[in-house]
Amino acid sequence: MLKARIAVLVSGGGTNLQALIDAQNSGIIKHGEISVVISNNADAFALTRAYNSGIPREVVPKAKFNSQQKFEKELIELIEKYNIDLIVLAGFMCILSKDFTSRFPKRIINVHPSLIPAFCGKGFYGLKVHEAALKYGVKVTGATVHFVNEIPDGGEIILQKPVNICRSDTPESLQQRVMRIAEWKILPKAVEMVSFDIVKGKSI
């Protein structure tokens, strides 16, 4: 069966990558296949997860380059080398420029740990999102998978899933619950949805 070729871009532990690998192995992702994992951090545990699953790994350390353009040029060369159809940002801690995102319209997706448009945009990442949700006192948060454009967290929403906030929550406990209940569920579903559309377009 024809499958969309997927690159997963990571920076850290790779829990969302693991959710995608598990979903691929269990058949939740049927129309896509992870072809490469690319990290800007050579020490990212996500690279070990890729190795353990037999997935090719590449490292593009941003600090090695003296410009965003050169960094993104290396990313583009890898994406072309692996004939990638879909780019998934899974805890990738680098903002991508308009020059990069405009090359791949509706071919880059990201998971964000809030219900966009709440607690999103520049400066909202990782624990900062959950700290803001608790500080503001909202009763419901969640996660969003969206297409990526030049505006941080500004692309079209694909899927969202709410998560209730508990009185006893800390940013860390909320982060874990949002990942378990929302991120690890909707990211694989969104990858399958977009992969299916890509494959359908290829077969026409």
What tokens were used for 202? 């290829």
Q: Beta 108-112 vs 140-147: how paired, if at all?
A: antiparallel
pLDDT of the residue at 123: 87
Longest dimension (CA), the chain: 52
Report the domain count for the chain.
1
Mean pLDDT throughout 149-156?
A: 92
Average pLDDT, the chain: 96
pLDDT of residue 203: 66
Question: Are 144 and 114 within 8 A, CB to CB?
Answer: yes
pLDDT exceeds cutoff 70 at 55 = yes
Q: Is the pTM of this model over 0.85?
A: yes
Q: Distance from first CA to last CA of the chain, Å, rounded? A: 14
pLDDT score of 36: 98
pLDDT of 122 reads 86
Point out the residues that are catalytic.
Answer: 112
What distance lies between CA 180 and its chain's CA centroid?
Answer: 15
- 14-35 pLDDT, tens digit each: 999 999 999 999 999 999 999 9
Cis peptide upstream of residue 117 (ω within 30 degrees of 0) = yes
Q: What is the mean pLDDT of residues 80-107?
A: 96
The domain in which residue 169 lies consists of: 4-203
Task: Tell me what percent of the residues of the chain surpass a pLDDT of 90.
Answer: 93
CATH number at 129 reads 3.40.50.170
Mean pLDDT score, 110-125: 93
Which strands sit side by side in the sheet containing 32-39, from one edge to the other?
Answer: 57-59, 32-39, 4-10, 86-89, 108-112, 140-147, 157-164
